[in-house]
Amino acid sequence: MDDNLLAASIPMKWVGPIKISGNVADIETAVPLATFESPLWPSVQRGAKISMATETGVTATLIDERMTRSILLEAATAASAYVAVRQITSSTAQLREVAATSSRFIELVGMRPEVIGNLIFLRFEFTTGDASGHNMVTLAADLLMRHILETVPGVSYGSISGNYCTDKKASAVNGILGRGKNVVAELLVPRATVADVLRTSAARIATLNVRKNLIGSIVAGGIRTANAHYANMLLAFYLATGQDAANIVEGSQGITHVEDRDGDLYFSCTLPNLIVGSVGNGKRLDFVEANLTRLGCREVRDVGDGARRLAVIAAATVLCGELSLLAAQTNPGELMQAHVRLERELVSGH
Amino acid sequence: MDDNLLAASIPMKWVGPIKISGNVADIETAVPLATFESPLWPSVQRGAKISMATETGVTATLIDERMTRSILLEAATAASAYVAVRQITSSTAQLREVAATSSRFIELVGMRPEVIGNLIFLRFEFTTGDASGHNMVTLAADLLMRHILETVPGVSYGSISGNYCTDKKASAVNGILGRGKNVVAELLVPRATVADVLRTSAARIATLNVRKNLIGSIVAGGIRTANAHYANMLLAFYLATGQDAANIVEGSQGITHVEDRDGDLYFSCTLPNLIVGSVGNGKRLDFVEANLTRLGCREVRDVGDGARRLAVIAAATVLCGELSLLAAQTNPGELMQAHVRLERELVSGH
Amino acid sequence: MDDNLLAASIPMKWVGPIKISGNVADIETAVPLATFESPLWPSVQRGAKISMATETGVTATLIDERMTRSILLEAATAASAYVAVRQITSSTAQLREVAATSSRFIELVGMRPEVIGNLIFLRFEFTTGDASGHNMVTLAADLLMRHILETVPGVSYGSISGNYCTDKKASAVNGILGRGKNVVAELLVPRATVADVLRTSAARIATLNVRKNLIGSIVAGGIRTANAHYANMLLAFYLATGQDAANIVEGSQGITHVEDRDGDLYFSCTLPNLIVGSVGNGKRLDFVEANLTRLGCREVRDVGDGARRLAVIAAATVLCGELSLLAAQTNPGELMQAHVRLERELVSGH
Amino acid sequence: MDDNLLAASIPMKWVGPIKISGNVADIETAVPLATFESPLWPSVQRGAKISMATETGVTATLIDERMTRSILLEAATAASAYVAVRQITSSTAQLREVAATSSRFIELVGMRPEVIGNLIFLRFEFTTGDASGHNMVTLAADLLMRHILETVPGVSYGSISGNYCTDKKASAVNGILGRGKNVVAELLVPRATVADVLRTSAARIATLNVRKNLIGSIVAGGIRTANAHYANMLLAFYLATGQDAANIVEGSQGITHVEDRDGDLYFSCTLPNLIVGSVGNGKRLDFVEANLTRLGCREVRDVGDGARRLAVIAAATVLCGELSLLAAQTNPGELMQAHVRLERELVSGH
């Protein structure tokens, strides 16, 4: 292996400011987006502009937070697996203590077993402070696994991860049982702003959302996903803030819900699986430090506040880009013209 | 917006070499991986080492290639939608000509309509030369949409993208109908190498694959996905080669299939949705140019060869990382020990 | 085994008439529904009444028809699997001849291979005349399998069915690639009828459909399904007409799409997987004969007309029940009151 | 509507006996199967014969039981929806009392809210005694909805059912959160019996199960489903015992897991969504009464025992049919020959 550490320099810009309110933060902040796809910047910028033109901006509500790891245990039969599961679930208090020994920032907050034939998939749910928690939950799961193997008769090691966690895979479980921060971002855009800035109407965006994001995603065999391009904004934000960006796989599984409220536009993005942290892997890099600091995620505060602030900013950023693209797609040709215009500007050095 | 273009400097290393054979390339090449998750490098390295220890290395077979965009049309009724669809599908030759006017590298190779109530989702399939083709297919779809609106009575504009494409969303359609390069990477590892380098056996890896990647993914409500962590390798390779890395969402939906062949290990990764290009957005950046050149994807050859070469290298890289992680998870504690050891090395400057 | 053939006597009623138009039939017909759930009868009856109150009734458009079986072949490697697949797909004409020898009513109309590691899933698509075709396609697949094993080197028997067909399983493939009759049923209900008969409005039904059938199904991790209760109507109709009612599994995976058209209600049910036949297993039973005859599916006509007529009647029946339930659920308490009233009537002998 | 109540006489046979053990019942019982597909009887019969040839027979373990209904509430914003959800989840004790007023057999045992934009999907979980519980949970949900609308500010009626229940729809939620009885049926078949009765080997069945039921289902875009034909056995058993057979949609979403244990065959069927009752709609019909009585589900015992007994018998029946079909498919041509032979016997009056 080449020992020289190189760098992939992904183009990055600060876009915004976005006005954000809600149960985690009331702020106006620009956001850093690292991407090869330069049209993303003006797209998010347009949404940000709209947020600033409203009174409360994007309201981002944190609904839940937890990080998960599932272990896999093997029993001889389902009958004995069931006995083991009953013993495990009845010793929750002890398991919480075991988990707590692995880190002072981790707490076991839930557990869900599934018995499939003679196999047990045991999904642990933790809070992990300001870390996204990938490594913390693996370490805790390792201790929990050992404890179970020592105290519960009739089960043996299957795998430290049984894919029921599930990390970076397209599935339903993370949306239904929770993994990462669950945030709903929403924005009420006055009719005039919809017309002037977005050159469309609430009715047309609502109709497009039903046809494209809801029906189109269902027709595509989508799983718990109904949006136009959450993955784009998440990738750019995750890269700029040192996140494990492979988590856009589940992060992108969110739902855009739109209502035409007498001409005003109610626009919401529900993102149940934002896996972000303000500490941990990748956060010590200079540009990441600088970005997290500028976003206000590095100030002294309660444990977990940094990660929660990141999550609501991520969600608001997603909303800005999603709103902009959907608005554009209500107008025939607009998307293509924007692309062509941007390409020209890039070539001519603008 | 801040006009100063900044950069997110993602740590990058060359890992390998990997030995690759198959219907696209017979090479030994190191691969660049950009990631915040440093344990990925030694993980892929271990797989690469195994590929070098075998005669043919990773055989990567390109099965198919196409890039898609679906438009959304509206009719008054399903009855009239059906009439329109029949007219559209009977004018394929003309539509191919229209598509061809948008670029000399694009070709319309397939088309699939779905009528849902009064709505038509029309999925176009193209080949796009050495480009991943996101913009090319949007431009072509724009022209095709105009042509259809002008020539087919009874339909009106719904959306330039109807989410039946589908781009960067967790769904079944891309796997079933195809989007991007469909590549199968496979490796036959002799029993001794499995024991010595991976410290496990073919039987144990095969059993783990069934329980974790197949059953575990099904239990998680996964959709057309059965692997441990394709997303990690794809993200790192895509970032290092200037790809639109948000396409790891569908790219990660692949299937690991393992067989114990009398103690030897047959290990395969099927990746139906590798969306990569050797030209286009992001490919002119210095580090990307350098990486693509070192990978041999910039030499003069037939149209499309650069992208195909990228795809098989990506698939082989995925196999190396997948094999290494699965092997590790057959051994209790190994994953955690590796993490802890790596963290220590990083802290102590190794 | 008890050799005496007994009977499960499922309560059955004729409901309707339903007015049906479209590219298969222009009729007014009652429909037989066999069910333990008696509230289904008045529910479908209400929808039927509405169909009669409109000019064209339910328009049922047959979009496509095909029946499938996938075989599973094994190769040594993906590389050799790919070679085999190319040979197979290039010999389509010959395979069509082989298939034709199995029955004069069967025709091979499509084929789709998937290579997963060293495995080949080969999905055959046939038309099967007036039969639903389960047995016909198995027989044809058996012959095709033999022919392939004899003529294509490097592949061996995996399974006569590889679950990529897929029969009676919740999946995306049948909706995307087609299995059974694909029928869209639609109805335009004047504003006054919506108010008088359904005691609601087009706007309220459209809103409920978005929230419940589209968003609710997505939240539930639904796969290509967006409706309230297609399974109920299909089960009752299938049992009454001698169908293999286990096919309601895929049959129930359809999409309800509703539009508020200036107060009038556009209501559509898209059913891509109606697997029905007017001949074959179960069709010789007296009550089935009688029912098929009364439905006009036993008269002399072109091959396949009987099955197609059944399919559009099934789709129209589904629409009637779906419309009625959705309308009821727009009104708080109505569903429960209807249930309670029906139970009382049943108890008191009405 | 035709007021004359007719009947669909579905052919029915008693098959077995099946030997069943486990945490619910230790019995040998034949099972009634009503179906148009006569090959099902000998198929289940073969599995039953194998169960009798083993010491403990099919072990059927009841893992969990609950019945669900989700209501849909509307708020002005996600922020206010979240406030409402917190109030609702903090008043669980009161909601349990409300639910209990609707029936002495119902108990609210769980609750799960999802906030999507300004919408709340609230999934109630109940135990419902010996009833499958469709109507009981709707009645309870109706009362709970009223109570919530009266006591929780800021929410209004959306729907009495929000499709997050979810009833008779192909989804992931029922498997993950539970709906109906969750039963694992398993059987250990000695090597000699596999060879003699099934004419195959444990290794071949295990391999076929991986390729067809696991990989094949994943390739098909299946959702939480991995079996060959659960739907067939469930339909036949549900019809014969007066169940709402449309629940085979979720009932069929189960997982077959097989292991080759040194030549002996470990065969298991996990059925997380068996929705059955020994009282309620359809259970007063003469043939149903007779069948339930013969199955021992009508004797006086603890509340719920009748339904639980039905569930484990259903699961054991599914296992018998699944085992038989998988074994047959390991042998080229066997399935077709069996079909042809049966058809001949039927024609010739056997």
Distance from the C92 Cα atom to the nearest Cα atom in chain D, whole angstroms: 22
pLDDT reading at C266 higher than 70: yes
Residue C2 pLDDT level (bands cut at 50, 70, 90): very low
Nearest to D216 among C36, C164, C245 (CB): C164
Nearest-angstrom CA–CA distance, C116 and C245: 31
Kindly report, residue by residue over D39-80, the tens digit of the pLDDT: 999 999 999 999 999 999 999 999 999 999 999 999 999 999
Residue B3 pLDDT level (bands cut at 50, 70, 90): low
Kindly report, residue by residue over C196-242, the tens digit of the pLDDT: 999 999 999 999 999 999 999 999 999 999 999 999 999 999 999 99
Q: What is the pLDDT of residue B299?
A: 84
Nearest-angstrom CA–CA distance, C116 and B266: 13
A37 is catalytic: yes
Cβ of residue D253 closer than 8 Å to a chain B Cβ: no
Optimal mutation site among D6, D214, D234, interface C, most CBs of chain C within 10 A: D6
Q: What mean pLDDT comes out for the span C289-295? A: 97
Kind plus residue range of the DSSP H or E element containing A121: strand A119-127
Identify the closest residue of chain D to A123 by CA–CA distance.
D176
Query: Chain-wide mean pLDDT for chain D?
Result: 95
Do the chains contact at B118 and C255, CB–CB below 8 Å?
no
Active-site hit among C26, C339, C343, C345? C339
Q: What is the pTM of this model?
A: 0.97
Kindly report, residue by residue over A24-83, the tens digit of the pLDDT: 999 999 999 999 999 999 999 999 999 999 999 999 999 999 999 999 999 999 999 999
Burial class of residue C45 (count of CB atoms within 10 Å of its CB; 0-12, 13-18, 19+): buried
Instruction: Specify which residues C28 forms β-bridges with.
Output: C19
Identify the closest residue of chain C to D157 by CA–CA distance.
C332
Instruction: Please answer whether residues D277 and D283 qualify as being in contact, where contact means their C-beta atoms are separated by less than 8 angstroms.
Output: yes
Residue C90 pLDDT level (bands cut at 50, 70, 90): very high
Chains contacting C (3 or more CB pairs within 8 Å) = A, B, D
Identify the closest residue of chain D to A164 by CA–CA distance.
D176
Kindly report, residue by residue over C167-176, the tens digit of the pLDDT: 999 999 999 9
Instruction: Specify which residues A159 forms β-bridges with.
Output: A72
CA-CA-CA-CA torsion sign (D220, D226, D232, D234): negative
Q: Which CATH number fits domain D3-64+180-348: 1.10.8.60, 3.90.770.10, 3.40.50.720, 2.40.50.140?
A: 3.90.770.10
Kindly report, residue by residue over A293-338, the tens digit of the pLDDT: 999 999 868 999 999 999 999 999 999 999 999 999 999 988 778 7
Nearest-angstrom CA–CA distance, D3 and C227: 29
**φ/ψ (deg, to 5) at B161:** -135, 125
Identify the closest residue of chain B to A234 by CA–CA distance.
B246
pLDDT reading at B340 higher than 80: no
- How many CB pairs below 8 Å do chains B and D form together? 46
Active-site hit among B107, B114, B142, B244? B244
pLDDT reading at C349 higher than 50: no
Distance from the B165 Cα atom to the nearest Cα atom in chain C, whole angstroms: 12
B318 alpha carbon, distance to own chain's centre:
10
Identify the closest residue of chain B to A114 by CA–CA distance.
B219
Kindly report, residue by residue over C58-73, the tens digit of the pLDDT: 999 999 999 999 999 9
Q: What is the pLDDT of residue B1?
A: 40
The secondary structure of residue A247, as a DSSP letter, is: G
Cβ of residue C160 closer than 8 Å to a chain A Cβ: no
Optimal mutation site among D24, D26, D83, D176, interface A, most CBs of chain A within 10 A: D176
* End-to-end C-alpha distance for chain C, whole angstroms: 40
Do the chains contact at C169 and D222, CB–CB below 8 Å?
yes
Nearest to C257 among A175, A215, A225 (CB): A215
Active-site hit among D28, D142, D244, D334? D244
Do the chains contact at A218 and C221, CB–CB below 8 Å?
no
Kindly report, residue by residue over A137-173, the tens digit of the pLDDT: 999 999 999 999 999 999 999 999 999 999 999 999 9
Active-site hit among A28, A74, A114, A244? A244
| C176 vs A contacts (CB less than 8 Å) | 221
Kindly report, residue by residue over B28-78, the tens digit of the pLDDT: 999 999 999 999 999 999 999 999 999 999 999 999 999 999 999 999 999
Cβ of residue D27 closer than 8 Å to a chain A Cβ: no
Cβ of residue B217 closer than 8 Å to a chain D Cβ: yes
| B121 vs A contacts (CB less than 8 Å) | 216, 219
Give the whole-number percent of chain B exceeding pLDDT 70. Answer: 97
Nearest to C115 among B79, B176, B184 (CB): B184
Cβ of residue A256 closer than 8 Å to a chain C Cβ: no
| C210 vs A contacts (CB less than 8 Å) | 210, 214
Nearest-angstrom CA–CA distance, A116 and A145: 18
Instruction: Please answer whether residues B179 and B68 qualify as being in contact, where contact means their C-beta atoms are separated by less than 8 angstroms.
Output: yes
Q: What is the pLDDT of residue B334?
A: 84
Do the chains contact at B219 and D257, CB–CB below 8 Å?
no
Cβ of residue A176 closer than 8 Å to a chain C Cβ: yes
Q: What three-state secondary structure class fits B331?
A: coil
Instruction: Please answer whether residues B11 and A3 qualify as being in contact, where contact means their C-beta atoms are separated by less than 8 angstroms.
Output: no
Q: What mean pLDDT comes out for the span B119-138? A: 97
Do the chains contact at D218 and B224, CB–CB below 8 Å?
yes
Nearest CA-CA partner of B7 in A346, A276, A283, A240 = A240
What's the per-residue H, E or C state across B61-100? EEEEEEEEEEEEEECCCHHHHHHHHHHHHCCHHHHHHHHH
Do the chains contact at A252 and B37, CB–CB below 8 Å?
no
Residue spans per domain, chain C: 3-64+180-348, 66-159
Residue B345 pLDDT level (bands cut at 50, 70, 90): low
What's the per-residue H, E or C state across C55-95? CCCEEEEEEEEEEEEEEEEECCCHHHHHHHHHHHHCCHHHH
Query: Chain-wide mean pLDDT for chain B?
Result: 95
Query: Chain-wide mean pLDDT for chain A?
Result: 95
Total residues found in chain C within this entry: 350
Active-site hit among B37, B74, B259, B264? B37
Q: What mean pLDDT comes out for the span C104-132? A: 97
| C15 vs D contacts (CB less than 8 Å) | 1-2
A339 is catalytic: yes
The secondary structure of residue A298, as a DSSP letter, is: S
Do the chains contact at D282 and C239, CB–CB below 8 Å?
no
Optimal mutation site among A214, A259, A261, A270, interface C, most CBs of chain C within 10 A: A214
Nearest to D270 among A63, A116, A255 (CB): A116
Q: Position C43: which residue type?
A: S
* Fold topology of D66-159: Alpha-Beta Plaits (3.30.70)
Optimal mutation site among B9, B33, B238, interface A, most CBs of chain A within 10 A: B9
How large is the ipTM? 0.96
Cβ of residue A281 closer than 8 Å to a chain B Cβ: yes
Residue A219 pLDDT level (bands cut at 50, 70, 90): very high
Identify the closest residue of chain A to B240 by CA–CA distance.
A8
Mean pLDDT of successive 10-residue stretches along chain D, which has 350 residues:
79 98 98 97 97 97 98 98 98 98 96 98 98 96 97 97 97 98 98 96 98 98 98 98 98 98 98 97 94 92 95 98 97 81 61
Q: What is the pLDDT of residue D175?
A: 97
B107 is catalytic: no
Kindly report, residue by residue over D248-294, the tens digit of the pLDDT: 999 999 999 999 999 999 999 999 999 999 999 889 999 999 999 99
Do the chains contact at C78 and B270, CB–CB below 8 Å?
yes
Do the chains contact at B255 and C78, CB–CB below 8 Å?
no
Instruction: Please answer whether residues D32 and D23 qualify as being in contact, where contact means their C-beta atoms are separated by less than 8 angstroms.
Output: no
Q: Which of residues 100 through 139 in chain C touch B, CB cutoff 8 A?
A: 115-119
Q: Position A197: which residue type?
A: V
Q: What is the pLDDT of residue D346?
A: 58
Burial class of residue B90 (count of CB atoms within 10 Å of its CB; 0-12, 13-18, 19+): exposed
Instruction: Please answer whether residues D79 and A61 qualify as being in contact, where contact means their C-beta atoms are separated by less than 8 angstroms.
Output: yes
**B95-99 CB contacts, 8 Å cutoff, 24+ apart:** B95/B144, B95/B147, B95/B148, B98/B140, B98/B143, B98/B144, B98/B147, B99/B124, B99/B126, B99/B140, B99/B143, B99/B144
Kindly report, residue by residue over B251-281, the tens digit of the pLDDT: 999 999 999 999 999 999 999 999 999 999 8
Identify the closest residue of chain A to D174 by CA–CA distance.
A176
Tokens matching residue B103: 């670029």
Nearest-angstrom CA–CA distance, C70 and C141: 8
Do the chains contact at A208 and B176, CB–CB below 8 Å?
no
pLDDT reading at C348 higher than 70: no
Do the chains contact at A186 and D117, CB–CB below 8 Å?
yes
| D188 vs A contacts (CB less than 8 Å) | 77
How far is CA A157 from each of CA A215, B16, B333, C116, C283, rounded to the nearest angstrom?
43, 32, 10, 29, 53
